Amino acid sequence: MYNKNKTLKEKSNKILTIILLTISTMIGEIMYGYSTNSMGLLADGYHMGSHAFSLTITYLTYLIVIKFKNSNYFPYGTNKIETLGAYTSALLLGLSGFAVIIESYKRLSNPIQIKFDEAILISLLGLLINTTCIIIMENPFKKKTKNIKDFNFLAAYYHILADILTSIFAIAGLYLGKFYNLTYIDSVIGLLGGILILKWSINLLCNTVKILIDMEYKPKQ
């Protein structure tokens, strides 16, 4: 028998585990970035921090839904609380995409010296951590339902996918830059990654807004 509270509790526990992994990685990258004067490490550390903040919104949303599931304050259910959390997370995902695009454009216009070996090592570490996080999470596309979708969980999933994507793109760009002296590829790949992240954000925003404003298309008779 389906137990929504149990399912939400399981999801919230997974999100909490991922938040702790993300924050640990973020602290390590920022500390190491300051100690080595590496802007690349600092940038990636603060990027991880933005995703940790978004995942925290997802986690708190689940706690609120579990607490007020049978409350008289929400006679029509708590589904829109989850959707609102997903909407907020989607906005932050979009801002992250914009930040990646802007930073990539700046570096394309004004190339900087990249510490390839250090950057590759940290990118590989980030990829390992994020791959672990995605394994912990349940794939939201695995079980599809006609009427019920947990956009809150989907938003968190997109944030982790965005981190994995940027890590893979960064590693590819860094190797091309190191061995073929194509330093501009790193910025080009960053632009492509930022555009894809924006696309995910827009799709999620469209789906959540439709729910929040009770939008449903009905042809005129």
Where do the structural domains in the chain lie, given as residue ranges? 4-212
In contact, 41 and 32? CB cutoff 8 Å = yes
pLDDT of the residue at 187: 74
Record: fold of 4-212? Alpha-lytic protease prodomain-like (1.20.1510)
Angle at 55 between CA 146 and CA 88, to 5 degrees: 65
Assessment of whether the complete model's pTM goes beyond 0.75:
no
For residue 108, pLDDT over 70 is answered with yes
Measured distance CA(83)–CA(88) in Å, rounded: 9
Outline where 69-183 has alpha helix (H). Answer: 79-109, 116-136, 151-180
Q: CA 164, 166, 167, 173 torsion: positive or negative?
A: positive
Most confident of 12-26, 34-48, 63-77, 99-113: 12-26
More confident residue, 35 or 5: 35
Phi, psi of 143 (to 5 degrees): -115, 110
The first and second tokens of residue 160, run together, are 């982790």
Which residue has tokens 């696309």?
A: 199
Residue 73's Cβ-side half-sphere holds a number of Cα atoms within 13 Å equal to 9
Say which residue the tokens 């960053």 belong to: 190
User: By mean pLDDT, which of 39-53, 111-125, 159-173 is the weakest?
Assistant: 39-53
Output the average pLDDT for the chain.
77
- Each residue's pLDDT tens digit, 166-185: 778 777 877 887 788 776 77
- Is the pLDDT score of 2 beyond 50? no
Mean pLDDT of 87-101: 83
User: In the predicted model, what is the mean pLDDT of residues 7-36?
Assistant: 82
- Residue 4: pLDDT band (50, 70, 90) is low
